A and B are shown apart, each in its own frame.
Chain A
Amino acid sequence: MIATLLQLLPEADFLSPTIDWHAIAPEMVILIGSLVLILLDSFKLDKAKPFMPTLASLVLLGALIPVITLAIDGSTRVLFGGSYVVDSMSLVLKALFLVSAYIVVLMSTNYVADGDYWESEYYSLIVAAVLGMLVMCSARDLLMIFVALELLSIPAYMLAAWRKGDEKSNEAGLKYYLMGVFASAVLLYGMSLMYGVGRSTRLDVIAENLVRIGDGRGAPIVTLAMIFVIIGFAFKVSAVPFHTWAPDTYEGAPTPVTAFLAVASKTAGFVALIQIVFYCFAARPDIIQPVFAVLAILSMTVGNLIALKQTNVVRMLAYSGIAQAGFMLAPFAVIETNREQALSSIVIYLVIYAAMNLGAFAVIIAITRKTRSAEITSLGGLFSYMPGLTVVMTIFLASLAGIPPFGGWYAKFGVWQALIGGNTALGYALAIIMAINTVVAAYYYLNVAKTMWFDEAPDGDTAPVKIPFTLIGAMGITVVATVMFGVLPGLLTNISDFSPVAAALGR
């Protein structure tokens, strides 16, 4: 039976691909690391528990080494017949994921141990999700992208429900899971249509076919497929109107997991969008530009307006994250006329957003160690008893609001530059809408700062609380990054000058 089937295959022999081990070394380190974590847990049980955070950190930082050597080498490596590419942009993003995950591990160390949650599994799941993110950075193939997406999502579903005893956490996990699976289904349907008209799973081949099809036969299917795929990822990056899961999930999930979802997971969604849009859908800007413009405008406006009303700081950050996603979606809408700047502005935004948002969550974890609540009012009077923490939080809030000299201003500036540089009416309109939204957003960020600085402590309890050194480390890294990126944005623009990448993907 099998023999007859094999005979039906074309004559071509199956050649095992030559594998550039250096190029996939980061992924290999993470893969082996996550297996080690699982095995240690299985054999040593509780004895291994105290070492798990350290081990996970070592794995994540260890994977950075090959990323750095690859960056020094600098050449673009193409693997698996073009479906896996390691170039300068993918390396920047990989480093971003590894460092973000490392900071999340720092933030989790005491949180998970103090809360008496399962520890070993927690870290192996985080590392497994990071593997999916790394693959996403290099994937240039629909299947590869889908596998990467599932690999990073499934651990996240479980992590969101990690506080098993808490109803809210269960709700968070379930909601995230159902919405995530639904989004995957939509995405997969879009991808299958795309495969049908594009006749390949490779993004570059599909792009060629899209150009060939143009407005001819199959054009409606192309439109449908593109919109489905974009909607699938819009769920992942929590763009309005596909955002409804985010606030509940963020509030219910353990805070370090929330940070992981809000930063790493969202970034992964954007990376997937970058791959698919810049390498493939850019062939039909007439279809995708309006879609992205609508998503961006809705996300930034609705996200901001709802954030204004929040009384819980984590929910506020969830909605603000939706608005920030809107800012990041905007450059996609000028992809036709300003491709290079659109690309680099999105990547720069992702990097800065990771630093300031992770930092904000780290401070919230530190504060809730004392207040046991994430209500904004519970932050009152923080300046009087923990001034250092207040200043750090203020820096993150100011950065999120886009006030110099903290990183956020350059992120927003980059987007404005991309939008205006495109010199299209749509770009100018988006720039103006974004300017107005920036001001709205400043209000609720400052509202938190106001509570910390101006108000009295709610119950008169002004005993400072001890902050574990891992959390201090997490805050230290993020605050230094936030300030450095704001004062010397050149550091960032030098590594994110993707003009060669962008040039290579010109039609």
Chain B
Amino acid sequence: MMNFLNDWGLVLTIFLPLAGALVMMAIPKQSEGAIKLVALGAPLAAAAMGILLMLNFDYGDSESLQFMVNRNWIELINSNFILGLDGLSLPLLALTLFIVPLVVIYSWQHVPNPGNPKAFFTLMLILETAMIGSFLAQDLILFFVFFEVTLLPMYFLIGVWGGEQRRYASIKFFLYTLFGSAFMIVAFVALYFLAKAPTGIALEQLRALGGSYADMQAGDPLRSFGMQALTYSGAAGIAKTTAIVIFGGMFLGFGIKVPMFPFHTWLPDAHTQAPTQGSVILAAVLLKLGTYGFIRIAIPILPVAARAWAPIIGILAVIGIIYGALGCLAQTDMKRLIAFSSVSHMGYTMLGISTLTAFGLNAAVFGMVAHGLITGLLFFIAGSVKERYHTLDIKRLGGLLISAPKMGWILGFATMASLGLPGLAGFWGEFPAILAAYEPAVGLNVALFRTLMVLAAVGTVLAAGYLLWLYQRTAFGTPSEEFENDPNITDVNKFEWLAWSPIIAGIVILGFFPGLIFNVAGPAVEVIARTVGG
């Protein structure tokens, strides 16, 4: 069993959805039943694989990569097919494997207009493969490929199945991300050429990787895209200014994906126009590729540059928190409001990251998962509201608790979770991130970070404001005349229950047992924090 998992576990987890997509292409368009079966079966198979991996994961050693796969891929540039699972990847892998089947269940009853479930689910499965691959890849080029593969399916999901402004939103999403990743790949290539073998203990660790690293001497050119090797190298041999510029390339790539202020403008459009399923996946998983990239790649590989960039990241994160919150207050569309709240919440994650401490990074990892679950649920609800009311205009909504009481309560639950109510997952994503800013890594400007902390705390008040305001206007009161006796407005149906109850359970469980993530990710981020000297 263990041998099988070691050799094939991660590969199967990544490629089972893709295999499902290929099977799907062979099924004729008319047999919707078979298509949906494959659409659910493939992510479930991947999830089963994932559960097996998690059961066999050595939690005592979660800082090191497990179930590693290492095969030759592009020899000429020494880029290899390296996969590995550690405490940092595991929560995000779990999140992806958890969300995608729920999205498929939610889509069971009807695929958004203009239909065509075959194409819809094929794209979703390809997207899942790309997302999982990004979280497991341990080679920069492999990561880049998976990272980019997420673009096209999402582009088509928004563009074909989206709202009225879908053409504009989809191309904006695409070009923005591509702009960032073009600079990211240039940064990766620069690392390849400039990084050198380190000295001391790091050199021993590097040699222990074997292969071409086995007889490296300090100062030898590394010529590698391996994340581990580059992390051990820690940008040895790269001048500080050069490292700062390279970090800038990555900052563009990851920061646009997060999205950080001022690169966030694609997000509200993409979210508002995307079909519900697309919004959920985008919010729950795709945004995390950016924050994950910072923690996994940018910071450990370029520690010196990371310290130089940390204040900028911190400031932009807090601007994002406040700006996103103020943006929320100005929205009239429920989905757009949730999208802006994403900008604000991802700000907390980035603030946690910018402290460069184990505590802050750990809070960021928790924040990613919590935001994935909560915002995913909010988008689900928004989608269902839209389906019933055919509008998301907050002014026209109201009285949800009367017309669809169960849905009203679930919306209430989700808003409470989102504003960070203790006992629910959202709290553990925000509060420790703010706390971490009190004591940033040694050498960072303490006064600055404490100011940021205060501002971020103000952000939570704003968050409570816009979320409660949203809830008040949509759920309280009486339904407006136009919807009073609308037969379309029904309560939560069984597919929605099936899709939502696991998320609700997840939010509660993580709220009461935050250790489930803190303890797994802790050791892994601690290693990273140590390399930055935090």
Binding site for B on A (CB under 8 A): 344, 383, 387, 394, 398, 401, 403-405, 409-410, 413, 416-417, 420-421, 423, 431-432, 435-436, 438-439, 442-443, 446-447, 450, 453-454, 488-490, 493-494, 497
Contacts and interface: CB of A to CB of B under 8 A. Distances in A.
Given A420-B190, A436-B182, A404 B77 contact: no
Contacts, number: 90
Interface of B: 72-77, 119, 141, 144-146, 148-149, 151-152, 155-156, 159-160, 166-167, 170-171, 174-175, 178-179, 182-183, 185-186, 189-190, 192-193
A442 B193 CA distance: 27
Contacts of A432: 183, 186
A387 B119 contact: yes
Contact of A431 (B74, B149, B186): B186
A490 B155 contact: no
Nearest to B122: A391
Identify which of A423, A436, A438 gathers the most chain B CB atoms within 10 Å of its CB. Answer: A438
| Interface pairs A-B: 3 shortest CB-CB | A493-B76, A435-B182, A404-B145
Given A383-B160, A403-B178, A450-B159, 17 more contacts: A344-B76, A401-B178, A403-B148, A403-B152, A404-B144, A416-B186, A417-B189, A417-B192, A435-B186, A436-B179, A443-B171, A446-B171, A490-B73, A493-B75, A493-B76, A494-B75, A494-B76
Contacts of B183: 432, 435
B174 A453 contact: no
Contacts of A453: 156, 159-160
Contacts of B190: 420
A438 B178 contact: yes
Given A387-B119, A405-B145, A450-B159, A493 B186 contact: no
Contacts of B119: 383, 387
Given A488-B73, A490-B73, A490-B76, A413 B189 contact: yes
17 contacts: A344-B76, A394-B152, A403-B152, A410-B74, A413-B185, A416-B185, A416-B186, A416-B189, A420-B186, A420-B189, A421-B193, A431-B186, A442-B175, A454-B166, A488-B73, A489-B74, A490-B73
A314 to B, nearest CB: 22
Contact of B77 (A417, A443, A454): A417
A453 B160 CA distance: 7
A404 B192 contact: no
Contacts of A421: 189, 193
A82 B347 CA distance: 65
A4 B18 CA distance: 80
A490 B182 contact: no
Given A421-B193, A446-B174, A490 B160 contact: no
A127 B523 CA distance: 66
A443 B182 contact: no
A69 B141 CA distance: 34
A421 B179 CA distance: 22
Given A409-B145, A442-B174, A453-B160, A497 B73 contact: no
A447 B72 CA distance: 36
Nearest to A415: B189
A363 B183 CA distance: 32
B159 A404 contact: no
B367 to A, nearest CB: 29
Nearest to B252: A435
B193 A446 contact: no
Given A417-B192, A450-B171, A403 B75 contact: no
B182 A438 contact: yes
Contacts of A447: 171
Nearest to B114: A384
Contact of A442 (B75, B146, B178): B178
Contacts of B174: 442, 446
B351 to A, nearest CB: 29
Contacts of A401: 178
A460 to B, nearest CB: 15
B224 to A, nearest CB: 13
Nearest to A418: B189
A492 to B, nearest CB: 9
A288 B179 CA distance: 30
Identify which of B72, B74, B160 gathers the most chain A CB atoms within 10 Å of its CB. Answer: B74
A307 to B, nearest CB: 15
B76 A497 contact: yes
A490 B156 CA distance: 29
A490 B74 contact: yes
B256 to A, nearest CB: 11
Contacts of B74: 410, 488-490, 493
Contacts of A450: 159, 167, 170-171
A488 to B, nearest CB: 7
A475 to B, nearest CB: 16
